[in-house]
Amino acid sequence: MSDLELSLAGQLALVTGASRGIGAATAQALAQAGAHVVLVAREANALEAVEEAIHHAGGSATIAPLDLAEPEAIARLATAIAGRWRALDVLVNAAAHFPPLMGVADLDGKTMARAMTVNSLAVHGLIHAFHPLLKRSENARVVHLTTSVAGEPRAWWGAYGASKAAADALLTSYAEEVRNTSKIRVAMVNPGATRTKMRAEAYPGEDPQTVKEPEVVATRLLALLGEDWASPHHEKLA
């Protein structure tokens, strides 16, 4: 099934990091396919712009401004969604915190804690809070954006790599735990070099025109939802 044929009509999707970049592009692709999309990020104004674009294109979305570093906020969101919808069909985690590039010996506790909180503990918080709703779906899919440095540690990238590696481990374990007891499937996708704000921060001298746009990743993620794959699924985009 191609992404153009995929219909998510009547399904509910939640996208974190939906205010810009890959998250925003993915949210718009999901809405175009018919899903109602819950847009999650810290910046309300940016979320409203994405919501407006979705509505203008004929889709539907709801914004949920919150900081993923606050576990109580995630729990409140899950409670609110459960009060309105029966199930969550798609959970896309595109949110990430990019800490300063520095040596491990120079990392202070605050910097490391922020990276672990947003990139790893928030992932656990999302799974813990939304697992009951995912179980109610007939075909629940969890898609998490990962990175090469999660599996291939690199000098100066310790905080980011470690925090993303922890999230990958959590989600791999989760996928194994639910594989035979539910219809929940988990995919970890490394988007590769993409024209995002985070990429610009990591590679300030790079010409952004030399890397792909977020919409390319969004198109692939949407297509992935219509494919049959074993969980946990791992994929890296060129």
Residue 1 has pLDDT above 50, yes or no: no
* Contacts (Cβ under 8 Å, ≥6 apart) of 182: 134, 135, 140
Label residue 34 left, alpha or beta by phi (over 0 means left) and psi (-120 to 50 means alpha).
left
**Is 32 inside a domain boundary?**
yes
Count of domains for the chain: 1
Position of tokens 């989760």? 174
Q: Is the pTM of this model over 0.85?
A: yes
Structure tokens at 109: 């506790």
Q: Which domain holds residue 183?
A: 12-236
CA distances (Å), origin 25, targets 18, 28, 83: 8, 5, 27
Q: Express each pLDDT in 164-206 by its tens digit.
A: 999 999 999 999 999 999 999 999 999 999 999 999 999 999 9
**Is 81 inside a domain boundary?**
yes
**Is 63 inside a domain boundary?**
yes
Q: Express each pLDDT in 110-164 by its tens digit.
A: 999 999 999 999 999 999 999 999 999 999 999 999 999 999 999 999 999 999 9
Catalytic pick among 130, 157, 160, 174: 160
Region 15-39 average pLDDT: 98
Structure tokens at 114: 């922020």
**Is 103 inside a domain boundary?**
yes
**Is 3 inside a domain boundary?**
no
Q: Which of 121, 99, 129, 55 is nearest to 198 (CA)?
A: 99
Structure-model confidence comparison of residues 86 and 5, the more confident one: 86
Structure confidence at residue 2 as a pLDDT band (50, 70, 90): very low
Active site residue 160: yes
Sheet holding 233-236, edge to edge: 60-65, 36-41, 12-16, 90-93, 141-145, 185-190, 233-236
**Is 58 inside a domain boundary?**
yes
**Is 7 inside a domain boundary?**
no
Q: CATH number of the domain that 58 lies in?
A: 3.40.50.720
**Is 4 inside a domain boundary?**
no
